[in-house]
Amino acid sequence: MEFSIAASTAGIPAFLAYLSLGVVLVALYMILYSLITPHNEFGLIKRNNAAAGIAFAGSLMGFVIPLSSAIANSVSLGDSAVWGVVALIVQILAYFLLRIPIDNLSHRIIQGQIAAGTWLGVGSLAAGVINAACMTY
């Protein structure tokens, strides 16, 4: 089998389309998540609040893992978009569920309580892993 630049680069348009979709959905997720939470993730992270960094990083990974699964298992760009939105909704719901057992979770994160940030971050990541597994039907 011979090497062919044309054959090797034939998938670049699809790659760019899926990559663009992924970037747009990640940006949308970060915007929506930061609007939904009572605390300002970006402001807290800029002030070196480790609890906010851990919580936000876990949440972002909890979204990106099922988004990756959606992209890898989709049959089209539209299919990826639909399942990417499903991943977004599930991750937002996970945030609200993770707040239930910990009183004043956002306030604790604002105060820099690492345990609270870890709870939210790891809980979000766990939700994302389960979400991704469910998408591989």
Tell me the CA distances in angstroms from 91 to 36, 60, 101, 114, 117, one per residue in order: 12, 9, 17, 21, 16
pTM of the model: 0.92
Look-up: residue for tokens 């105060």?
Answer: 111
pLDDT by residue (tens digit) across 35-66?
999 999 999 999 999 999 999 999 999 999 99
CA dihedral 68, 64, 84, 99 (to 10 degrees): 150
Q: Is the pLDDT of residue 121 over 70?
A: yes
